Chain A
Amino acid sequence: MKVLVPIKRVIDYNVKARVKSDNSDVDLSNVKMAINPFCEIAVEEAVRLKEAGTATEVVVVSIGDKACQEQLRTALALGADRAIQIETDQKLESLHVAKLLAKLVEQESPELVILGKQTIDADNNQTGQMLAALTKRGQATFASKVVIENGKAVVTREVDGGLQTVAVNLPAIVTTDLRLNEPRYASLPNIMKAKRKPLDVVAADSLGVDLSPRVTLVRVEEPAKRQGGIVVESVSELVEKLKNEAKVIS
């Protein structure tokens, strides 16, 4: 079984994003970048499926400029077999990404595509679902457990109020939630080996997808700042303030 894992290069999750002074966007110059944490979980799951003998090949793909090759190499060091970069300088919407990935799914015909549930930059939570619609495949989003058996992916999903389990016929689309697994670290020998693994570059234009923007980013601003608070000395003072000053309890 071939597994395709799309990954995204994003701001490191520990870095607090700063808004540019002209309010045009978030400032990403000289900011530490990394694999989106949910994508890392997706890579880990694919590699575990390979180690369990369920998957035969793990292909990672990223869409972006040359810089995203760094994240593809990291994924190769984590155990992916080969990488594909879909090259574009353009800022893409989830629908564009899903359409490009759908073309790749057509070419590679993986039986399982594992994506992160959302990227921590745009916070959209759309691409996996859109890819499932475009490829007419079943979807299992927010997965915290994936079992492949009898031609199906049996997936436990994290939903409001509890856990839901669905069975999706392969080929299927799965998106990862945080608790699916704990990603491993790349070892130095594996980082060295990853440099020799194949990484193909495909021009986004060559895939015949209309990438013209549908949504315009008008402005980006800082969220309203909270007023500075006070430190109280005791529980009784806290309760008194909540009752009489903030009036949030009675």
Chain B
Amino acid sequence: MKILVIADHDNGALKPETSKVVNAASKIGTDISVLVAGHNVGSIVEAAASIAGVSNVLVADNAVYETQLAENISELVLSIAEGYTHILASASTTGKNMLPRVAALLDKSQISEIIAVVDENTFKRPIYAGNAIATVQSNESVKLLTVRASAFDLQGTQAPAATSVVGTVVDNATTQFVSIEQTESERPELTAAPVVISGGRGMQNGENFKLLEGIADKLGAAIGASRAAVDAGFVPNDMQVGQTGKIVAPNLYIAVGISGAIQHLAGMKDSKVIVAINKDPDAPIFQVADYGLVADLFDVLPELEKAL
């Protein structure tokens, strides 16, 4: 078994998801290579080589990979795919964008968002917004898998593994990068934070999300939101937790003014401890909450901030 993990990074730093994908890969086999494709990625390569269990880092350092367009990366992966039995990427927007393109170029079926490795051919994944867990067996000679990072642990570190340069440079004729508009945040990344506090429609407006900030600062938490809060324009959409947003599994998840629709639960119900603050005692969120507080969030939030 030869496994290729495609590193997830924003061309500035390696994302912790990569370490978790290597953790998933280590449950399949031991010969693990990591591909880092980007531009001026020296420190990212170093970080990838230091993940425990990585035997080799392949580096494709070229301006055409800087924005990681799927058209370029998929051709690059195709050019080096020979010999690998498994190709893994994180189920981030980058991985989801690129890996199915690779799969089709290789004429292989892909398995998305695995949460467990049963054996080298068999994997578990959630379907129907996490209301069912499917065990699926791939009969393909090359298994393409995206990995739900929140379901796997961070790997340890090691003395850096060897690196080698991949020569292929592929630029496409169809798609050009125009611009990126990044959401500024000094808080931990939503998908990696140990504590997440999320607001929903009950927050009433974007201004009131400030009530969550003091609590988030005290807990070292990331701030999330339900789709209702995003659609109402309270906060930007990359804060959305749920089936179609981000999937998180922190130690502590605090849901404030969130009713708990199926689609939201799909994104957070694997959290270790869930706290719900809602004034409606019948809100479905209380069915999954370990601790529920039936109260008006505008009374409770300042009190909570003070109590921490």
Contacts and interface: CB of A to CB of B under 8 A. Distances in A.
Interface of A: 11, 13-14, 16-19, 26, 38, 93-95, 98, 117-118, 120-134, 137-142, 144, 154, 157-169, 172, 177-179, 213-223, 226-227, 229-232, 234-236, 238-239, 241-242, 246, 248-249
Contacts of A154: 178
B300 A215 contact: no
A139 B101 CA distance: 9
23 contacts: A13-B262, A17-B131, A26-B128, A93-B109, A98-B104, A120-B243, A122-B127, A123-B112, A132-B101, A138-B172, A141-B93, A154-B178, A162-B181, A169-B173, A178-B231, A215-B140, A223-B126, A226-B274, A231-B291, A231-B292, A231-B294, A235-B293, A242-B291
B104 A95 contact: yes
Interface string B130-147: 111111111110000000
Contact of B109 (A11, A94, A177, A178): A94
Interface string B100-130: 1111110111111100000000100011111
B187 interface: no
B246 interface: yes
Contacts of A138: 71, 172, 174-175
Q: Which 8 A-B pairs have the closest CB atoms?
A: A138-B174, A17-B128, A133-B104, A129-B100, A130-B104, A138-B175, A126-B100, A214-B109
Contacts of A221: 132-133, 135
B219 interface: yes
B153 interface: no
Given A178-B237, A218-B136, 11 more contacts: A13-B262, A17-B129, A19-B132, A127-B100, A129-B98, A130-B100, A159-B238, A162-B183, A165-B178, A216-B136, A219-B134
Residue among B173, B175, B251, B263 with most chain A CB within 10 A: B175
A129 B95 CA distance: 11
Most chain A CB inside 10 Å of its own CB: which residue of B174, B252, B304:
B174
Contacts of A157: 93
Contacts of B178: 154, 165-167
A126 B183 CA distance: 26
Given A158-B93, A232-B293, A123 B104 contact: no
B81 interface: no
Contacts of B264: none
Given A164-B180, A229-B289, A141 B96 contact: yes
Main secondary structure, interface of A, reads mixed
Contacts of B24: none
Contacts of B67: 164
Given A93-B109, A162-B181, A231-B286, A26 B101 contact: no
A160 B17 CA distance: 12
A134 B104 contact: yes
A123 B113 contact: yes
A248 B195 contact: yes
A130 B103 contact: yes
A209 to B, nearest CB: 12
B56 interface: no
Contact of A223 (B132, B137, B176, B291): B132
Nearest to A128: B100
B159 interface: no
Given A26-B128, A220-B132, A141 B97 contact: yes
A195 B104 CA distance: 36
A144 B180 contact: no
A179 B235 CA distance: 13
Contacts of A246: 252, 273, 290-291
A234 B100 CA distance: 49
B137 A95 contact: no
